[in-house]
Amino acid sequence: MVETLTFLVDPLPVGAAADSFDEAVREVETGAGALAVNDFAPHRGDGVFETLAVIDGHVQEVGPHLARLANSARICELPEPNADQWRAVIAAAAARLPAQGEYALKIALSRGLDPGPKPTAWVYVVPGADFTAARERGIRVITLDRGIDRGAGERAPWLLLGAKTLSYAANMAAIREAKRRSADDALFVTSDGFVLEGPTSSVIVRIGDRFVTPPPAAGILHGTTQRSLFAHLEATGRTGEYRDVTVDELRSADAAWLVSSVRLAAPITALDDVPMPVDEDATRDFNAYLLSPRD
Amino acid sequence: MVETLTFLVDPLPVGAAADSFDEAVREVETGAGALAVNDFAPHRGDGVFETLAVIDGHVQEVGPHLARLANSARICELPEPNADQWRAVIAAAAARLPAQGEYALKIALSRGLDPGPKPTAWVYVVPGADFTAARERGIRVITLDRGIDRGAGERAPWLLLGAKTLSYAANMAAIREAKRRSADDALFVTSDGFVLEGPTSSVIVRIGDRFVTPPPAAGILHGTTQRSLFAHLEATGRTGEYRDVTVDELRSADAAWLVSSVRLAAPITALDDVPMPVDEDATRDFNAYLLSPRD
């Protein structure tokens, strides 16, 4: 039974020959020393990552995750990831997993050793937690002020709000704050009353027959699971829409979900301790879709 | 000639016997694999750190740095650092350095291996860069919007603004943005026009005969070098004052410095490309004091 896997990856430049991919990967024991303390990942949280779901042997949404990794790298001025190499590395890691079960497969690209010049990278695979309760019975969520206003993301690109960086200490603190308040998760909101995203998820809100999510320009990550669900909505005759959502709109919405690659669609059952309506049909439909093989 | 040093530290609980300190430290080759990829430091930027100056064999301000490390750990809900152990580790590392020259000694405490439960820690020592030009001829600085308003630090403690965490990707991006604009460093300001801090420094502003700095409650780190300089000001009959400083006040100030543990006091010669007056006497006095042994 595979429990965890760790691979160190030498990230090759775009265009490197495919026959060099194999020797650029090295499996190491999980938990063993692998990264130098002056690697910019532990040194400064200075790198980017993606977490992909592996469901019954199929890695979900490899293309969208690699596209977002490339976008994060661009925002952080890291070298463009070699998508072919990453596809090969991801496939090799996934081939080591059982044909059944859910896994979280993280890929990370760091700025590398201080003072450089070469990035480092790794893959880390762990069994997914059992998220059945979150998917079926939902989650209690608190709103947390993200400090910024609606315009900060566009105004201040150096804040890296649109990049999925390794600097997640505040995201982790927000989840601890939620647990302290007897909730399951948090939802960041702006200081001027707009909905942003969860610390490790996107939010989708149903208002009447429309499914809406805040635009990425609002200073959030463009969610791969949210995008996948919007494609599913379109394919099934429904509508997904990007637009600003106020916290007041969310409080009076017909349903809302936090969606993410591994937990999938978790309906919000209470927001700041006030019960929210749950759309059980849409929740079942979303999770059935998200559990099916997707590319 | 010592170039770099790396020690892995097993962080002991408060009260651990001093005779266990030695075996809790292990020197490793700098640049070699030391931290697991699922250590929360590279995994999530989830840890805290301090960078101390070692000047001609003397480690500066050990007590204030350990006090701030403890404060950062408290904000991040990490176990209280064992100050006695850290003093011993720092002294042992410093004893390996030449009697002359400047070094940067970083100590870091991570939440440890996911899923826990034990923190990891390390020490990383590198020669200081030559900051003579910054100290004597000054630095060109640009203001950068930090996205938050003046009240965010107090309103949203989960943002960890008062903790020196390993999540420094945006701080590094701000410095890159400054270099892109042909400046040497950045100064974060709030969306509502207040001065905060540099990405790796505090700011001190002279207005008439008063030296002022923004209060830590504004959502910034309490600077160890700024505190040391304020003590020096008091000891020499001058006044240091904590109060909000608007960007407009800074632009018309009589002098300003970015101060930090290793670069020390760097006078700001231009702010957003507009020349600023430089107080050469105070600059010399500040750096002479900061270069002298301090505890």
Residues B239 and B158 in one domain: yes
In the stretch 216-235 of chain A, residues with CB closer than 8 A to chain B read: 219
Query: Which of B127, B149, B182 is a domain's end point?
Result: B127
Mutate to test the interface with B, among A167, A181, A220 (most CBs of B within 10 A): A167
pLDDT tens digits, A115-143: 777 899 999 999 999 999 999 999 999 99
Q: Quick check: A45 and B166 CB within 8 A? A: yes
Residues B146 and B277 in one domain: yes
Residues A105 and A139 in one domain: no
Query: Which of A91, A108, A127 is a domain's end point?
Result: A127
Q: Confirm whether the ipTM is greater than 0.85.
A: yes
CATH number of the domain enclosing B196: 3.20.10.10
Q: Is B208 on the interface with A (CB under 8 A)?
A: no
Q: Is A116 on the interface with B (CB under 8 A)?
A: no
DSSP E strands, chain B: 5-9, 25-28, 47-55, 58-59, 102-110, 120-127, 139-145, 185-189, 202-207, 210-213, 239-242, 255-260, 264-271, 274-275
Point out the residue among B124, B152, B168 whose CB comes nearest to the CB of A147.
B152
Point out the residue among B42, B153, B177 whose CB comes nearest to the CB of A42.
B42
- Whether a cis peptide bond, with omega within 30° of 0, leads into A79 is no
CA distances to A167, A229, B12, B86, B100 from B95, rounded to whole Å, are 33, 59, 21, 14, 12
Residues A136 and A282 in one domain: yes
Residues A153 and A192 in one domain: yes
Contact yes or no for A5/A25 (Cβ under 8 A): no
Residue A183 and residue A134: Cα distance in Å, rounded? 12
Residues A28 and A145 in one domain: no
Residues 6 or more apart in contact with residue B13 via CB below 8 angstroms: B79, B82
The residue type found at A228 is: S
CATH number of the domain enclosing A105: 3.30.470.10
CA distances to A35, A124, B23, B33, B108 from A31, rounded to whole Å, are 11, 10, 20, 11, 18
Q: How far is CA A271 from the centre of its chain?
A: 21
Whole-angstrom Cα Rg for chain B: 19
Q: Is B191 on the interface with A (CB under 8 A)?
A: yes
Residues A113 and A183 in one domain: no
Residues A115 and A136 in one domain: no
Residues A106 and A173 in one domain: no
Block residue for tokens 């509502």: B192
Residue A265 and residue A281: Cα distance in Å, rounded? 12
Q: Quick check: B34 and A31 CB within 8 A? A: no
pLDDT tens digits, A73-87: 999 999 999 999 999
CA-nearest residue of chain A to B143? Answer: A156
Q: Quick check: B169 and A167 CB within 8 A? A: yes
pLDDT score, position B267: 99
Residues 6 or more apart in contact with residue A284 via CB below 8 angstroms: none
Residues B154 and B211 in one domain: yes
Counting the structural domains of chain B, the total is: 2
Q: Estimate the share of chain B in helix, then strand, then coil, as percent rounded to the nearest 5.
A: 30, 30, 40
Q: Is A73 on the interface with B (CB under 8 A)?
A: no
Residue B69 and residue B166: Cα distance in Å, rounded? 12
In the stretch 40-69 of chain B, residues with CB closer than 8 A to chain A read: 40-47
Indicate the pairing of strand A139-145 with strand A185-189.
parallel
Point out the residue among B144, B152, B165 whose CB comes nearest to the CB of A158.
B144
pLDDT score, position B116: 72
Please, which pLDDT band fits residue A2 given cuts at 50, 70 and 90?
low
Residues B142 and B108 in one domain: no
Residues B104 and B247 in one domain: no
Tens-level pLDDT at each residue, chain B (295 residues): 568 999 999 999 999 999 999 999 999 999 999 999 999 999 999 999 999 999 999 999 999 999 999 999 999 999 999 999 999 999 999 999 999 999 999 999 999 998 777 899 999 999 999 999 999 999 999 999 999 999 999 999 999 999 999 999 999 999 999 999 999 999 999 999 999 999 999 999 999 999 999 999 999 999 999 999 999 999 999 999 999 999 999 999 999 999 999 999 999 999 999 999 999 999 999 999 999 999 9
Q: Quick check: A36 and B46 CB within 8 A? A: no
Q: Is B146 on the interface with A (CB under 8 A)?
A: yes
Point out the residue among A45, A145, A174 whose CB comes nearest to the CB of B167.
A45
Which of A172, A180, A280 shows the shortest CA–CA distance to B47? A172
Query: Which of A127, A160, A190 is a domain's end point?
Result: A127
What does the block give as tokens for B113?
């291996």
Using the predicted structure, report yes or no on whether residue A30 has a pLDDT greater than 90: yes
pLDDT tens digits, A186-217: 999 999 999 999 999 999 999 999 999 999 99
Q: Quick check: B124 and A38 CB within 8 A? A: yes
pLDDT score, position B135: 98
Parent domain of B217: 132-291
Q: What is the nearest CA distance from B151 to chain A, expressed in angstroms?
A: 8
Point out the residue among B148, B167, B219 whose CB comes nearest to the CB of A168.
B167
